[in-house]
Each structure stands twice: as C-alpha cells, then as structure tokens.
Amino acid sequence: MRAAAEALLKLTADPDYLGARPGLLAVLHTWTRAMAYHPHVHILVTAGGWREGHTPGWIPSKRPDFLVPGRALSILFRAKLRDALRHAGLVDRVPPEVWCKDWVVHLQHAGSGEKVLEYLARYVFRIALVNSRFERFENGQVTFRFRDGRSGKAKHCTLEAAAFIARFLQHVLPQGFSKVRHYGLFSPSRKQILEKARVELVASSVTTLPPAPTTVDAPDITVDAVSADHRTRCPFCGVGMMHVIDALPRWRPPP
C-alpha cells in the first residue's frame, strides 16, 4: 500500500502530469469472489491536488479523464516495491525473474467519484463472505455462492468444513492492522492543508442565488434566530445552514 501511494505521489508531483499533491484513499482487499487468497489494493485518487509554493492553491488534472500514465506508474511501482522488500530483508524470497517482467497497474477514470464512494461505503469494512451467500451446510461440507468475474454467471463452491474455515481465516487481518489508509492530501499530518483545499473548492463551486421574493407581511429571519434553533453556517462555504441531528459515538479504537 505504501509503495503504491509513493509511486502515485512521485508522478503527480511532476509538473508534466499534475505538479501538485492529490488525496489518496487506499483500501486493502485480500479475497476473490470465490474467497481465494488474492491481496490487492484499491486507491481512490482526487482529480487534482494542492500545490504549495509562492502561489498555493488547488490544481485540477490537466485532462478530466487522465491523471498519470499507466506505463510509467507500473515501472515506478515495481521499483518502489522492490526497494521496500529489500529494506525489509524480504527481497530474496521473490524469484529474480519477477523484476524483469512487465507489471500492469490498472488505471480507471471514476467520473465524479460518487459511484466509487457508494461502493466503498458498502464494502470497505465488509468481510470476505456474508451470510446471504451461504447455500447449505451438510455432511461436513459448506457450499456458498459467488459470481464468476468473466462470465458474470452465478457459481457454487463446496468445501470441507476445515478447508472452508482455513480459507476464511486467510482474510482475517492481524490485530491493529488498518485496511483503510490515507496518503497525500488525505494524510492526517496534512489536515490544515486539506481544509484549505476544501474551502477553495467549495468557494469556487458556490453560485450566487437571486434574492428570494418578499411580501409585506413576511417576518425578518436573522442568522441569530436560526442559530437559536441549533443551526449554524457551514464552516466551508459560509452560505448553507447546518442542523445537528445526532453525534455518533466511536465504535472502534483508532488503528
């Protein structure tokens, strides 16, 4: 996850591609639809970033459907991962021919990002197999349903109970291991810069609305009167009004 994030931040810092620091949300998945062991990382990247210097500000991507070249990112990611394994003393466990092959990093335009966020909201903390996919448990065997990625058709997998438990436990992460991590502009150490970026983006998207028609009998409604009803102005745009409904308690300790 760190090698992938470092490779992205290295390329986006290049003025030929972006020349700014984007926000990165990384999610680790370890399973396929059939619950086989397949570690992979999904990273959601902002279509732009914050540029520091004499004229700091938000820099949008040069093209709406392009951020960085996949070929260059693949080569850089391979080098970053090899260096990380060498630093950890694990590079000797990898066959040498692996570093001579072409690596492929999948890049995909996510549009406005709403569909991706909707997907992450449902699956980011989901386990490898939900109860609704179980078909039956009989004669010491477990059968569950999954959808084939190539054909899109529903298939079934039947395993001995011990083999099923062993396959499921492959996807239980060590205690304290965070499967969701933030890099770049989303890093916890850059909260102040992130707030500046949010204010600038919101301010650039706010349009001035025409004044609402008034009548002779219409009472004056001031900000203080609205605030008395537990409302306050949005801290980002300064225009919209916020109403606090409830505060959700923390349900798990921080990583």
Residues 101-130: pLDDT tens digits? 999 888 888 877 778 778 777 777 778 888
Interatomic CA distance for residues 78 and 98, integer angstroms:
10
Q: What is the mean pLDDT of the chain?
A: 82
Residue of 113, 103, 101 lying closest to 67 (CA atoms): 113
Residues 163, 153: Cα–Cα separation, whole Å:
24
Question: Token pair of 127, please?
Answer: 């386990």
Higher pLDDT, 62 or 125: 62
pLDDT confidence tier of residue 72, bands split at 50, 70 and 90: very high
Two tokens, residue 23: 């926000």
Rounded Cα–Cα distance for residues 229 and 14 (Å): 49
Say whether pLDDT at 63 is over 80: yes
DSSP state string for 202-219: HHHH--PPPPPP--TTPP
Q: Which residue(s) pair with 180 in the sheet?
A: 27
DSSP β-bridge partners for residue 59: 49
Beta-bridge mates of residue 193: none
Tokens of 220: 């004056």
Task: Quickly list H helices, the chain.
Answer: 2-12, 70-87, 114-123, 161-169, 191-205, 223-227
**58 φψ region: left (φ > 0), alpha (ψ -120 to 50), beta (else):** beta
Task: Write down the pLDDT at residue 232.
Answer: 67
Which runs of consecutive H residues, i.e. helices, occur in 99-190?
A: 114-123, 161-169
Give domain limits for the chain.
2-128+176-200, 131-170
Which pLDDT band, with edges at 50, 70 and 90, does 215 fall under?
Answer: very low
User: How do residues 162-176 score in pLDDT, each as one tens digit?
Assistant: 999 999 999 998 988
The number of residues making up the chain comes to 255
